[in-house]
């Protein structure tokens, strides 16, 4: 029964997005200014952020914590590698770039 209620709520979210989009109600000037004016954009963005936080919260509730605790060592090593590897590549590419750039090039000189 839970899967069915999630599917129905997703359909309501899609219907609300289509209804508030410029495709349907966006053709009416006063509705467009209500949702997409300066104050409207802020309201839509706030509700979108709240919706994303709620969705992430629900996803976290459905997660099985036993699997995470069982694979703690492997998950931690993958997470550390995912952080350290791009950093090392960035430092390497920066070193290569500094060696390849001409010293007299206007783009390679730092402002004083």
How far apart CA 36 and CA 47 sit, in angstroms, is 13
In the predicted structure, residue 2 carries a pLDDT above the cut 80: no
Percentage of the chain lying above the pLDDT 90 cut? 12
Domain segments of the chain as ranges? 2-63, 73-102
pLDDT, one tens digit per residue, over 25-46 is: 667 777 777 766 666 677 777 8
pLDDT more than 70, % of the chain? 71
pLDDT in tens, 56-85: 888 877 777 787 778 888 888 988 999 999
Q: Which pLDDT score is estimated for 72?
A: 85
The CA-atom distances, in angstroms, between 22 and each of 3, 16, 27, 77 are 31, 12, 6, 46
């Amino acid at each position: 029964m839970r899967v069915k209620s999630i599917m129905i709520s997703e359909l309501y979210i899609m219907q609300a997005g289509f209804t508030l989009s410029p495709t349907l109600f966006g053709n009416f000037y006063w509705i467009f200014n209500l949702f997409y004016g300066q104050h409207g954009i802020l309201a839509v963005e706030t509700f979108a952020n709240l919706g994303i936080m709620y969705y992430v919260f629900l996803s976290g509730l459905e997660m099985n914590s036993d699997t995470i605790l069982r694979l703690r060592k492997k998950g931690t090593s993958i997470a550390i590698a995912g952080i350290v590897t791009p950093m090392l590549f960035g430092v390497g590419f920066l070193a290569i770039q500094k060696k390849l750039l001409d010293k007299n090039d206007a783009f390679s000189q730092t402002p004083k």
